[in-house]
Amino acid sequence: MKTLPVCVGLLLMLFTWTVCVWADSRRQKRAWIIDSFTIEEENPGPYPYILGKIELNQSYLVRYQLKGQGVDLEPKGILNIDKKGNVLVYGKVDFENKQGIKVLRSTFEAKDKSNDEVDTRLGVHIQILDINDHAPKFQQSVYEVTVDESHSQGKTVVTVLASDEDDSRTNNGTFDLTIKSVTPTPENVKFYIQQQKDVNQQQQQFGKVYFNGCLNYEKAQKYTILVEAKDKGEKIQLSSTSTVIINILDKNNNLPEFSGKTGPGKVKERETGVEVLRLQVTDKDTRGSEAWKAKYTIHGDKKEQFQIETDPKTNEGILTVVKQMDYEEQTYQNLSISVQNELPYFSCKVKKQVENAKWEVDIIPQNSGMSVENLYNTIPVTIYVEDVNDPPVFIPPVKHVHIMENIAAGTSLTTFTAKDMDGSLTNTFKFVKGEDIDGWITIDAKTGRVSTNKILDRESPFGINSTYRATLYAVDDGVPSLTGTGTLFIHLNDQNDNAPMLEVNTVNMCLDTEPTVANITAVDLDLHPYSSPFNYELLGYVKDKWRVEPTHGTTVSLVKEHSVYSGHHLLQIKISDQQGLSSIQNLSVTVCDCSIAPDCHVRMTRMAQMGPAAAWIVVLTVLIFIAMCLMVLLISCKAEKKMIEMDDGIGCLIKTNTENPGTDCVVPSSIGIQKTDSSNVNTSFKLSTNVISSHKLTSRTVIHKTLEAPQLDFPDQMSIRSIDRSSTRSYRENFNRSSIRSSAFYGNAAYLTNSLAVIINKKLLALQTRDEEFVVYEPHCYTDEGQAMDNAELDALSIPENDFHPEMLINLDNRFCQLAIISRPDLMQR
């Protein structure tokens, strides 16, 4: 109880202290926000100037202070306050500043000079007022767009965008978009612009350009529009412009029109791929564009005999015949040809101009009930057909004949009929065989009757499925001559004219203690019932060795008994078809030990295979043989130097070893032979011989005898004409090689020359007395090499028999004796 008064006292003291503190606080920190000041942007001054004054009702001394935006915050240094409370402006402010500050927010403080405590704190708001210092600006200085001339009215052509940095809440930031000019002056078209604000950006506005009426490329390919944006400033109105370029793209608003046609306008019958007409058109659309390119259509060509194409350079229509036309069926063809463009046709015409609304226009094909095809230009065309010679026509063109095979040659098969289809030209024609691969038929040129040329065989490789095909021609005599073609099919019925034969006539079988089996098959070219199944019968002594199971069928089994030894066995099998026609076939059977090789053929093949060592031996042998042949060839090619063999005789035979044509042999006059009345002496020795009938005379052969007499004196030279000129050339070669050696022979055997000279002089005197026999001998060709002659005989010697004396051989070489015995055995016997 004693403590209660103390507590109450303490509470009273605490309450009193709280009230005093609150009262002091209310006195020292009074603060409120006053009305805002306004400042106009871009004020020209002079600076500083008083914007306004802050009034305080204070009885004690205070000091004023201003801080915040415009003072110590951006934009700095613009505002300040003096000791009287006047707010001073020290510079320009910009409504469109980068910071986007439209209101300067500052704080005013009044401090007690005695203790420098804030006595009053006020919030000061200074609003920046906008002036019209920015003109509206377009996003692009030039807008360019391309539209079709078929662009419909009321559709947006282009959209422009403009903005104003001034305050959009005032007239300074509000502007209008207008079209100031259009170049060139439009005809039947009016451009206008509609303005719309951007909901996201209040300072921006859209302007959409439209038009009323119809665009026409032929009147204006481009429009240049000047668009102006002008604000609504109270003191001054600012504006800017932008250029809008609208390019017009040509479309097909002009149909092509026919202007002429060129060409023969006629075609020969059966002629195709021929140009008959060219159609010219004109089009006002842009040359080379799809709106200019013409597309032609043919009407009235039910048989589709014509085709029309467009020349890409001239735009002409080229009419061509693509199917043959027949003069006998039609002499002319009427057509109509229409023309259009590759691009669909479009047309727009203004009917009525309405203010502030869409104009009334007539658009084809959108608003018109008329079909576009009815607007296309059409031209009539007549194509005439010229008559020419027509080929004959087979009636019918194909014939089928069914006959039995093996019919006799000359059998009539059928008769073909042909007709000349010419109406104005009458020709005759003949029948000619065409394709007849195996020469089966003949045809009568006048009647067309077809007959067999030989016995026909169904199994001929030239027949396909028992059918043979041949073609026939009917050729007229027109100018030019034309040909019609007919076809004959000969169907052959089968006969039993082929015996069955083994398909394979060799069989391999294994050697075994038990019977072994191999399959054999027979084939027959005939058809059923003249072919399989066959009957098989083994011929000869085959009991307990060979048998056939079964004996009836196409493929049967050949059974070998265990008693058959290994090796090759030749069996005879009689094979008969269903009609009893048979043949005896030889079957070669090889029996071998299959424990060594599973197949006899494989075994023999392996035995015949050559090992690597044997292959190398064969290669080496071949190389050695080739080397030896080359050595023999080199040795045989060396020039042979051979001494002339002389014996006691006074003459010799010269080996010529040649079959080449010969020439004259000339003996120089220096030999010293005495002059005679003859300037040239020709001596011909003709030898006759019998040729064995089993051989052939294959070359011209002449034996020359040359004698030299150094003591005789001829005027110029002695010529001996040779039958074979090649022998003379060979003689000259031998003469040159042996001339030196012959000189030694003449020195050692002088006595022989005297005897020989006497004999020659006698012979010359005898020849001089018979002038009628002194003729130039022409060589006689007995035969040519490679031609066979049996029992050929050479001509008789030209020297009379009574002029030959055996005593002449006394001084001759013994080989001449042998020759004389062969040539004149009758005289030598005496």
- Neighbour-count burial of 380, counting CB atoms closer than 10 A to its CB (0-12 exposed, 13-18 middle, 19+ buried): exposed
- How far apart, in whole angstroms, are the C-alpha atoms of residue 79 and residue 52? 11
Q: How many CB atoms lie within 10 A of CB 18?
A: 10
Contact assessment for residue 533 and residue 578, using Cβ atoms and an 8 Å cutoff = yes
- Tokens representing 712 are 């005789």
Residues of the chain with pLDDT > 70, as a percent, come to 69
Q: How many CB atoms lie within 10 A of CB 774?
A: 13
- Tokens representing 318 are 């080229």
Q: Which is higher by pLDDT, 370 or 702?
A: 370
Distances (CA, A) of 262 to 280, 339, 385: 8, 16, 17
349-363 pLDDT tens trace? 898 888 888 898 888
- How far apart, in whole angstroms, are the C-alpha atoms of residue 566 and residue 316? 92
- Tokens representing 228 are 């102006």
pLDDT of residue 686: 31
Average per-residue pLDDT in the chain?
A: 76
- How far apart, in whole angstroms, are the C-alpha atoms of residue 807 and residue 461? 79
- How far apart, in whole angstroms, are the C-alpha atoms of residue 86 and residue 51? 7
Q: Coil, helix or strand for 621?
A: helix
Handedness of CA 179, 184, 190, 196 (dihedral sign): negative
Q: Coil, helix or strand for 605?
A: helix
pTM strictly above 0.75:
no
- How far apart, in whole angstroms, are the C-alpha atoms of residue 410 and residue 447? 15
Contact assessment for residue 127 and residue 37, using Cβ atoms and an 8 Å cutoff = yes
- Tokens representing 520 are 């054999």
Label residue 732 by pLDDT band (50, 70, 90). Answer: very low
Contact assessment for residue 734 and residue 726, using Cβ atoms and an 8 Å cutoff = no
Beta bridge partners, 39, equal: 128
- Neighbour-count burial of 450, counting CB atoms closer than 10 A to its CB (0-12 exposed, 13-18 middle, 19+ buried): buried
Residue 661 pLDDT > 80, yes or no? no
pLDDT of residue 793: 45
Q: Is 559 left (phi over 0), alpha (psi -120 to 50) or beta?
A: beta
- How far apart, in whole angstroms, are the C-alpha atoms of residue 231 and residue 454? 115
Residue 639 pLDDT > 80, yes or no? no
Can the peptide bond before residue 515 be classed as cis, meaning omega within 30 degrees of 0? Answer: no
Q: Which residues contact 87 (CB under 8 A, 6 or more apart)?
A: 37, 50, 51, 52, 53, 54, 66, 79, 80, 81, 124, 126
- Tokens representing 181 are 């000019």
Q: Residue 419 belongs to what H/E stretch?
A: strand 418-420
536-562 pLDDT tens trace? 999 998 988 999 999 999 999 999 998
Q: Coil, helix or strand for 393?
A: strand
Q: Coil, helix or strand for 13?
A: helix
99-153 pLDDT tens trace? 777 788 888 777 777 777 777 788 888 888 878 888 899 999 999 999 998 898 9
How many Cα atoms occupy the beta-carbon half-sphere of 385 within 13 Å? Answer: 22
How many Cα atoms occupy the beta-carbon half-sphere of 735 within 13 Å? Answer: 15
743-769 pLDDT tens trace? 434 444 444 556 666 677 666 666 555
- Tokens representing 798 are 């030209």
pLDDT of residue 523: 95
Q: Which residues contact 191 (CB under 8 A, 6 or more apart)?
A: 157, 179, 182, 209, 210, 211, 223, 225
214-234 pLDDT tens trace? 999 989 999 999 999 998 888
295-331 pLDDT tens trace? 999 999 999 999 999 999 999 999 999 999 988 888 9
DSSP label at residue 809: G
Q: How many CB atoms lie within 10 A of CB 664?
A: 13
Contact assessment for residue 536 and residue 551, using Cβ atoms and an 8 Å cutoff = yes
- In degrees and rounded to multiples of 5, residue 152 shows phi and psi of -80, 150
pLDDT of residue 370: 60
Compute the residue count for the chain.
Answer: 830
- How far apart, in whole angstroms, are the C-alpha atoms of residue 94 and residue 75? 10
What's the mean pLDDT in 367-392?
82
Distances (CA, A) of 170 to 130, 234, 556, 739: 8, 9, 121, 146
Q: Coil, helix or strand for 743?
A: helix
pLDDT of residue 210: 94
Question: Which segment, 79-93, 103-117, 661-675, 684-698, is predicted with the most confidence on average?
Answer: 79-93
DSSP label at residue 173: G
Label residue 828 by pLDDT band (50, 70, 90). Answer: low
- How far apart, in whole angstroms, are the C-alpha atoms of residue 456 and residue 469? 13
34-92 pLDDT tens trace? 657 888 787 877 888 888 888 776 655 677 888 888 888 888 888 888 888 888 888 88
